[in-house]
Amino acid sequence: MTSQQRLTGTTVIGTARLIAAKDLRVELRSRVLLNQVLPFALIVMVMFAFALDSDAVLERVAPGLVWLAALFSTLIMVSRSFAVETADGALDQLRSAGVPAMGIFIGKMMALMAQLVVLVTLLIIAAIVLYRAELSWSGSVLLVTTGLTATCGLAAVGTLYGGLAAGAKGRETLLPLLLLPVVAPVLIGATRATESAFGTRGVSTSQGWPWLGLLAVFAVLFSVSGAVALGPLLDD
Amino acid sequence: MSKDQATSTPFTKGLGFFVLLGMLLLIILGIFVSPADVNQGESVRIMYAHVPGAWLAYLAFIVTAVSSAAYLWKRTRSLTWDRIAGASAEVGVLFMGISLVTGSLWGRLTWGTYWTWDARLTTTAFLFVTYIGYLAVRGLGGTHQQRARRSAVLALLAVLEIPLVHFSVEFWNTLHQKASVAGRGTNVEMNGLMLFTLFLGVVVFTLMYVWLVLHRQRSLMLEDMLDDSGLDNALNERRAEATRVGN
């Protein structure tokens, strides 16, 4: 029984590692993140500046804009992550080969999270350069923790809903409708925590930590439910 | 259409009759007989449609979640649960729309604004959008079982999502927006007749919900049967062709 459990455990983790490595390798070779998603996120940041048209306002709303741009880019990345799988029916073949769904979920989530971390880092640098956001040392600890927790939550929800819409006709238009309402708590929590880290409107760093609790609850809830629910969703 | 394939039964016919009668009574009481409120004036009459609408919308989504769970649980798995979930969500979205529109009109009259970022209002709006997405997922196609499983998982995820959204909006409000317009001018002094009208509204709307879901559930079943028979017919035609060619 224990050896059986250990065996399933290693298969799940082993699968996850293989899937994550495969996704990142696909990314490194195709450079879609580097050549398309990151430039898109940057142009969104520039367009916000045109729309808001005031340095004072930009500095005030910089944290919110960072996370809005991150959410929009997440939608593209989730679509991309599952387009790779469904293009040649790869997902069905993985399932019929007996690959555990939990491993697929964890692997795709890890790969997505790695890409999101790169994206959010770039967006924060953009906010500092373009919107004059300021970052202190104590603020950067909060910011790094926020970034990691929030991207973990986004990656979990993204993989779950991406898997739900995978293979269906019209999923490109359906995904934003499904995903955006669910990630509202991440937008609220991550924006408030980032405000504290930047010291926007004189908010102190310590006020940001409670928001991190919200982000952590979100990440845990959707990681667990995604790991459980993806199997039934893909077993059609 | 043969008699056994109609969506009404003697029970739903009787129920529909009561709903019509109750609705008529509600309109008479709500618009003409019941008095205007001391604080809100005539705008209090919107409540007789708004409160039952909101209650029903939430009830509908609870029914959707419970039937989805019943579908996913192996021992009770049946496409009937899936159709009840779908029918209930459709009716729920309708009533959620009604309560959002009546609510914002009432808010404009009472608070002077159509919308406020109060947790209850915001959660309601999110619930509305989430279930529009749920209905879109139901329309994605595939087999009946695929549709049922996909939408059941989505309905249970909504049960996870909505409290989180509610909590985070509430958290956001308490920390950042101290004075909300909600709570101003909302104290209603209800007399007996007003309370009775509101109660009648809730009962009539609930019966209407039951009537709508029963009918919709049956028409969804007929749609599924049509799908299946369409496939059977096509198969039979192809078989007939094959035998003709064979001869």
Quote the pTM value: 0.86
Among residues B17, B18, B90, B102, the alpha carbon closest in space to that of B53 is found at B102
Closest partner CB to A177 (pick from B72, B136, B175): B136
Helices B47-72 + B192-246 axis angle, to 10:
40
Chain A residue closest to B165 (CA)? A185
Chain A residue closest to B163 (CA)? A185
pLDDT reported for residue A158: 94
Is there a contact between A72 and A100 (Cβ–Cβ < 8 Å)?
no
Chain A residue closest to B131 (CA)? A178
pLDDT reported for residue B20: 93
Contacts of B175 in chain A (CB under 8 A): 192, 207
Contact A174 B146 (CB under 8 A): no
Contact A192 B141 (CB under 8 A): no
Given a cut of 80, whether residue A169 has pLDDT beyond it is no
Contact A177 B133 (CB under 8 A): yes
Residues of chain B with confidence (pLDDT) below 70: 1-5, 175-190, 245-247
Handedness of CA A41, A43, A45, A48 (dihedral sign): negative
pLDDT reported for residue B246: 58
Nearest-neighbour CA in chain B from A127: distance (Å)? 23
Mean pLDDT on A172-176: 86
pLDDT reported for residue A108: 93
Beta bridge partners of B37: B41
Query: Among A177, A220, A222, A228, which would you mutate to test the B interface (most chain B Cβ atoms within 10 Å of its Cβ)?
Result: A177
Contact B142 A217 (CB under 8 A): no
pLDDT reported for residue B181: 45
Nearest-neighbour CA in chain B from A25: distance (Å)? 30
Reported as a single tens digit per residue, the pLDDT across A36-68 is 999 999 999 999 999 998 888 898 899 999 999
State how many domains chain A has. 1
Closest partner CB to A169 (pick from B140, B149, B172): B140
Contact B137 A184 (CB under 8 A): no
Query: Among A60, A105, A187, A188, which would you mutate to test the B interface (most chain B Cβ atoms within 10 Å of its Cβ)?
Result: A188
Contact A229 B157 (CB under 8 A): yes
Reported as a single tens digit per residue, the pLDDT across A64-87 is 999 999 999 999 999 988 888 887
Interface of A with B (CB under 8 A): 160, 164-165, 168-170, 174, 177-178, 181-182, 184-185, 188-189, 192, 207, 210-211, 214, 217-218, 221-222, 225, 229, 232-233, 235-236
SS3 letters across A62-89: HHHHHHHHHHHHHHHHHHHHHHHHHCCC
Could you tell me if B175 lies within 8 Å of chain A, comparing CB atoms?
yes
pLDDT reported for residue B80: 92
Among residues A11, A199, A221, the alpha carbon closest in space to that of A102 is found at A11
pLDDT reported for residue B182: 47
pLDDT reported for residue B184: 47
Report the percentage of chain A scoring pLDDT > 90. 50
* Residue A71, φ and ψ in degrees, nearest 5: -65, -45
Nearest-neighbour CA in chain A from B8: distance (Å)? 33
Among residues A199, A236, A230, the alpha carbon closest in space to that of A104 is found at A230
pLDDT reported for residue B169: 85
Nearest-neighbour CA in chain A from B31: distance (Å)? 37
Among residues B25, B20, B56, the alpha carbon closest in space to that of B210 is found at B56
Look at A144 and A100; give whichever has higher pLDDT: A144
pLDDT reported for residue B188: 56
Range of the domain at A75: 2-234
Contact A214 B153 (CB under 8 A): no
Contact B161 A182 (CB under 8 A): yes
pLDDT reported for residue B244: 72
Contact A236 B133 (CB under 8 A): no
Closest partner CB to A232 (pick from B126, B140, B153): B153
Contact B154 A164 (CB under 8 A): yes
Reported as a single tens digit per residue, the pLDDT across A118-146 is 999 999 999 999 998 888 888 889 999 99
Confidence of residue A221 (pLDDT cuts 50, 70, 90): very high
Among residues B148, B130, B125, the alpha carbon closest in space to that of B72 is found at B148
pLDDT reported for residue A10: 67
Reported as a single tens digit per residue, the pLDDT across B138-192 is 988 778 888 899 899 999 999 888 888 888 888 887 765 444 444 444 555 667 8
Given a cut of 50, whether residue A5 has pLDDT beyond it is no
